[in-house]
Amino acid sequence: MSLFIGVDVGGTKVLAAAVSTSGRLVRTARRETPDRNEDPMVVEDALTDAVHAVAGSRRVDGVGIAAAGFVDAAGERVMFAPHLPFRGEEVRARLMERWDTTVMLDNDANCTARAEVTYGAARGATDAVVITLGTGIGGAVVIGGRVHRGRNGMAGEFGHMQVVPQGRACECGGVGCWEQYCSGNALARAARARLGEAPTLLEQACDGDPDLLTGPMVTSAAEQGDQLALAAFEEIGSWLGVGTANLVAAFDPDVVVVGGGVCDAGDLLLGPARHALSTSLVGVGHRVVPPVLRATLGPSAGAVGAASMVRIAVQDHPRVFRTSGTRARARLRAARGTSRRR
């Protein structure tokens, strides 16, 4: 039986998983993500350690890597990642040489979308928009059943679409970005801004210090019926619906899938989002409005999608991938030869 492994490299932890053809996690290993100021080689060591822990003594047919950062159009490098040490290294070729197997690389949101389209909420959809609400917003565009990566591999950066002119400053350098109004951080901010308006469980949850308020605290309070927390979800959910309406106007997908930690609140988030979508979307009387569904694969979706990506590539195009692996290794050796000669 073949063995395909997916590895999700997040800002805080690495999850490696052997994934079955039906998308089931057969065996997993977790490691801490090394600090972003470490040498990239330290991250590669952690990945290697996790992959070996999952593989044991078995031959690995392919490893897919889902990285929390910008992956280039060719799927060779992590160009930039706020929480990882990579800055344009040829990660794919290096790991392919080190592991002697086919390796594929993409960003985590794209891998999550692959998992949801293949095994999850978007199964069977031709065109889908996948939105991941965590600290910020991750996103992916699926067209004709395939993830659309774009010229730079940067398609799906929905979180940095401007929704408010001269709005809140964003870490990206822009202003008024969607993720400043709709994300885990935005949820905590929305609740914080309401403290004192009414009695709330959140006062106790954060020990009276608004700065300690987190998204999960707001979710927990909202699930207990806390009015202030529910109002925060109403605000974030409405922003989710408005931004989704913009994406649906542009792509007209079959389905919209929403994942990420903020989505643990389920309909407390998606209810207001669906309402705002149906009131904001153009031509509602002349179209099928796509369902807005909660992602079903949870935090392992990135690893599952990464494994699926490499499985499909190797099985559908074995010659291409053997060739490109060899080429990538040859390129790497040539580059090293060059630098030795310098």
- Residues 6 or more apart in contact with residue 277 via CB below 8 angstroms: 241, 242, 244, 245, 248, 256, 289, 292
Nearer to its own copies, 178 or 233 (CB): 178
Closest distance to its own copies from the beta carbon of 256 (Å): 11
Shortest CA distance to 220 belongs to which of 195, 188, 197, 198? 188
Closest distance to its own copies from the beta carbon of 162 (Å): 6
Residue 58 to residues 21, 30, 157, 232, 321, Cα–Cα distance (Å): 17, 19, 37, 49, 20
Nearer to its own copies, 139 or 237 (CB): 139
Closest distance to its own copies from the beta carbon of 191 (Å): 20
Closest distance to its own copies from the beta carbon of 123 (Å): 16
Q: How many whole angstroms separate alpha carbon 122 and alpha carbon 296?
A: 9
Closest distance to its own copies from the beta carbon of 139 (Å): 8
Nearer to its own copies, 49 or 252 (CB): 252
Nearer to its own copies, 78 or 205 (CB): 78
Closest distance to its own copies from the beta carbon of 15 (Å): 25
Closest distance to its own copies from the beta carbon of 80 (Å): 5
Nearer to its own copies, 260 or 290 (CB): 290
Nearer to its own copies, 167 or 298 (CB): 167
Strand partners, 147: 142
Closest distance to its own copies from the beta carbon of 86 (Å): 12
Nearer to its own copies, 164 or 198 (CB): 164
Q: Which residues bind its own copies (CB under 8 A)?
A: 70, 79-80, 126-127, 139, 141, 143-144, 148-158, 160-165, 172, 174, 177, 242, 245-247, 249-254, 280, 282-283, 286-288, 290
Nearer to its own copies, 80 or 212 (CB): 80
Closest distance to its own copies from the beta carbon of 51 (Å): 27
CA atoms within 13 A on the CB side of 259: 28
Nearer to its own copies, 52 or 148 (CB): 148
